[in-house]
Amino acid sequence: MKYQTIDSTKSEQIAMLAVCLTNEITERTGTKHFSVDVPLAIDLCKNYVSNGIYQVMAAFDADQIVGFASVCQSYSLYAEGQFGIIQEFYVMPEYRSKGIGQELLQSVVKLAKQQGWKRLELCTPPLPQYKGTVEFYKSNGFEVTGGHKMKHVIA
């Protein structure tokens, strides 16, 4: 398995995995939390990666991307400056429980250190359906900070 940041030429593969992620969340929870427009997701990924807005760490099995983490930079007073947010994190089901997610997270932590970020944050999918996901992140050094992810759609 190889772990490396991707360039924009891999945007279509990343967008398709992001669709798998959102579909899995919808199926598991029974609620449509997301509406992903695939061509738009591909274009956004190309744009974000090309412009340095997003960094995407991918897990490769030969030439196939089997998992990814997309990360962007944010700023806050409570974090005392710059920090990273893992926006999406996904490993294909057939590659789970093989250490790939753990290695992928370690690669993201290494990237965060290179960026000079003081912390990484992420939001997990809804509980209780994703209790195992929360445990995975906790076992890899993340801690629950409370609250719920909330959104307000701006039309």
In this prediction, residue 136 carries a pLDDT of 94
Is residue 144 one of the residues assigned to a domain?
no
pTM: 0.92
Tokens in use for 24?
A: 């899995």
Q: What is the CATH number of the domain that holds 7?
A: 3.40.630.30
Is residue 147 one of the residues assigned to a domain?
no
Task: Give the angle 118-92-119 at the CA atoms, nearest 5°.
Answer: 5
The H-or-E segment that residue 3 falls in is: strand 2-5
The predicted-structure confidence for 14-31, as pLDDT tens digits, reads as follows: 999 999 999 998 888 888
Is residue 36 one of the residues assigned to a domain?
yes
Stretch 86-98: mean pLDDT, rounded? 96
Is residue 145 one of the residues assigned to a domain?
no
The predicted-structure confidence for 46-76, as pLDDT tens digits, reads as follows: 999 999 999 999 999 999 999 999 999 999 9
The predicted-structure confidence for 106-147, as pLDDT tens digits, reads as follows: 999 999 999 999 999 999 887 788 889 999 999 999 998 877
In this prediction, residue 30 carries a pLDDT of 85
In this prediction, residue 53 carries a pLDDT of 93
Evaluate whether 126 touches 25 at the Cβ level (below 8 Å): yes
Token pair 């701006």 is at which residue? 154
Nearest Cα to Cα of residue 97 among 55, 71, 60, 67: 67
Q: Name 85's Cβ contacts closer than 8 Å, sequence gap at least 6.
A: 71, 72, 73, 74, 120, 121, 122
Is residue 53 one of the residues assigned to a domain?
yes
Residue 150: pLDDT band by 50, 70, 90 thresholds? confident
Stretch 94-106: mean pLDDT, rounded? 97
Please tell me the distance from the alpha carbon of residue 140 to that of residue 48, in angstroms, as a whole number. Answer: 27
Q: Name 109's Cβ contacts closer than 8 Å, sequence gap at least 6.
A: 120, 141
Residue-number span of the structural domain to which 43 is assigned: 2-139
